[in-house]
Chain A
Amino acid sequence: MSETQAATLRINKESIYIPERAGHPVRSFLYREMLIMRKILLHRALKLSGSEKLGRILTTGAAAIAIISTITIVFFISTKGLSAFLVDGISIKDFLFSTHWLPDRLPEDGGPQVGVLAFLIGSIVVSMLAVLLSAPLSVACAVFIAEIAPNWGQRVLQPAIEILAGIPSVVYGYVGLSVLVPFIRNNVGGLGFSVLAGFLVLTVMILPTIVSISTDSLRALPGEWKEAAYALGSTRWQAIRLVLLPAARSGIMTGIVLGLARAFGEALAVQMVIGNTRKIPTSILDPVITLTSAITMDMGNTPMGSLWNNALWSMGLLLLMMSCFFILVIRFISLKGGAAR
């Protein structure tokens, strides 16, 4: 409301309709004042709800919530995660590079030790294998959607892939457990609960992520580039290999790193199929354990503040640091990709 309108309101103070309350002069005066107050308050509220200031405060507040939650997450996970080192006096070197996981052993039996190398290697092996298999498949699928089957590829395939990206990870774990594990046990060997089952489940799980990001970045390329390549006489494969894929490189790499991050941080789907044995696997059919599955299984069963529990928090911190590392890699990729243009 503008100044003049506000002025009208002020002048009209006298003309506000007041139903007569016969008899009691004080009460009718109070009643009248109350009505006027209400009108003014309503007017203020209306003015505030449309005001620039309110918008700024609300939206900035929401942005601040995002920052505050990030900072509190980093702060709390770090404090808890560091207590194994600061309170229990475990050395970081032993934690990262030892395979001795004896958190409940008494000192005379070899002391409590919390080396997480086996967990760390499990996480890295399973997620790296998944990306190695998933990335080529996904990129082929993305090129197909964006270049080879443009018409129905765009209309049907891309939405389908995006919908598939929303399938909950427990469903991947469930199918892995009820199909893949028995299949491996009967046809390949071993118990079925293995590195193989784990990385296959993750491979399928990260397919939609990599495909949809790669498709987007291929599609974002200017059409003239492809036309220029064709005009120079190149075949479709040459155009894809020499022009389109290199140009979309940073987007595709981002998709792959995001897939890797998702695979590394996935907890339940992996935990269900890998067998969770605290040993470094020697073959692809051996059971294995990851950081996430160890946290999933033991966090609820160990008392808060015990060394075992603290070591699990340190693993959580390790996961947090890895995800920060992945963000840095993605930022670096997009920075480089931007400069190359």
Chain B
Amino acid sequence: MNSRLADRIATIMFWAGALIVIIILGSLIGYTIYHGGKSISWDFLTKPPQVIRAGGGIGPQIFNSFYLLFLSMAFTIPIGLLGGIYLAEYARPNRWTELVRLSIETLNSLPSIVVGLFGLLVFVNMTGWGYSLMSGAMALTVINLPLMVRITEESIRGVPGSLREASLALGANRWQTIIKVVLPSAFPGLVSGAIITSGRVFGEAAALLFTAGMSSPALDFSNWNIFDSSSPLNPFRPAETLAVHIWKVNTEGLVPDLRRVADGSAAVLILVVLGFNLAARYLGRRIYRRMSAT
């Protein structure tokens, strides 16, 4: 009787714990989207922000976030993919592999502000790029590389060994097997991994304060000359991303409609990040189904 009572109480406790966690996290998302949803409009999404007057939007910030995402993924995906292949296929259990793993673990647990400091020192000051999208993209690559490597390694390890053996038996060498057989089979996992990593890029702020900068020059969206400093495509211009904008508006904003801008930006950010995560799941599953069914 006693132990049965204890079991009952424990069950209630676990239910309560799970409920609390879910309610907290659910209301966090609900609050953000509900509050911010009211201030999202086409104008808000496309207009440039105002410094002291009301009515500013977050257009350039959204563009900067996506452009930075593109730049940093252009580095993260190839390096992460190759690193993951190395760990899954080539690495032997020796000192060198141990060093690679330790490095990736270290990079993974670095606080992002430390990576930001490193970026300030190396990418901003030593290369002479200044606060720029390129410096930000490099810092984000450092942050996301370990995640990409780990996801690649896991998806490759999930590919059945029989596929590999069949390919090798047909006379393909190891690299051909990896490129033509293993990577395509691991593709669903790789796609969702890359998208989840993208979500993290979108939300990162601490590492960008001192690398991509906290300001955005006036952008001329009809100027597609990549070397012009007012062109949105110039990778060597400073760029404030959406996440940084949220921080800046909340801590040192001067606009009278500060709450509206902050609420709207947070809602957009959370919607995009949730969108990335849901897309990752959906696409991964869909590609997997299509590949395994046909």
Contacts and interface: CB of A to CB of B under 8 A. Distances in A.
Interface of A: 50-52, 54-56, 58-63, 65-67, 69-74, 76-77, 80, 136-141, 143-145, 147-149, 157, 159-164, 166-175, 177-179, 204, 207-208, 211, 234-238, 240-241, 258, 261, 264-268, 271-272, 292, 295-296, 299-300, 304, 313, 316, 319-320, 323-324, 326-327
Contacts of B290: none
B262 interface: yes
A174 B246 contact: yes
Interface centre among B83, B149, B179, by most chain A C-beta atoms within 10 angstroms, is B83
Contact of B113 (A139, A170, A240, A319): A319
Interface stretch (B24-32, B37-45, B54-62, B220-228): B24-32
B72 interface: no
Interface centre among B89, B113, B121, B259, by most chain A C-beta atoms within 10 angstroms, is B113
Given A66-B107, A77-B117, A208 B25 contact: yes
A327 B250 contact: no
A143 B18 CA distance: 9
Interface stretch (B158-166, B229-237, B270-278): B270-278
Nearest to B263: A178
A110 B111 CA distance: 34
B118 A76 contact: yes
Contact of B29 (A147, A167, A272): A167
B247 A173 contact: yes
30 contacts: A55-B90, A56-B90, A59-B82, A62-B82, A65-B145, A66-B145, A66-B149, A69-B103, A69-B107, A73-B118, A74-B106, A76-B118, A77-B114, A141-B20, A164-B29, A166-B199, A167-B203, A170-B205, A170-B269, A178-B35, A235-B7, A237-B9, A237-B10, A266-B111, A299-B117, A316-B113, A316-B114, A316-B117, A324-B106, A327-B109
A268 B113 CA distance: 9
A273 to B, nearest CB: 10
Contact of B203 (A71, A169, A264, A271): A169
Interface string B198-221: 011011111001100010000000
Q: Which 5 residue pairs across A and B have the least CB separation, nearest first? A: A265-B111, A168-B203, A140-B17, A55-B175, A62-B82
B281 A207 contact: no
Nearest to A68: B103
B81 to A, nearest CB: 8
A170 B246 contact: yes
B63 interface: no
B121 A80 contact: yes
A52 to B, nearest CB: 5
B72 to A, nearest CB: 14
Contacts, number: 270
B32 A168 contact: no
A168 B86 contact: no
A50 B111 contact: no
A167 B114 contact: no
B176 interface: yes
B21 A69 contact: no
A139 B276 CA distance: 27
B109 A63 contact: no
Given A59-B89, A167-B29, A300-B210, A265 B196 contact: no
B92 to A, nearest CB: 12
Given A145-B18, A168-B203, A296 B113 contact: yes
B266 interface: yes
Contacts of B176: 50
Contact of B111 (A138, A141, A172, A267): A267
B247 A295 contact: no
Contact of B259 (A139, A157, A178): A178
A63 B142 CA distance: 13
A177 B6 CA distance: 40
B114 A62 contact: no
A159 B192 CA distance: 13
A207 B250 CA distance: 24
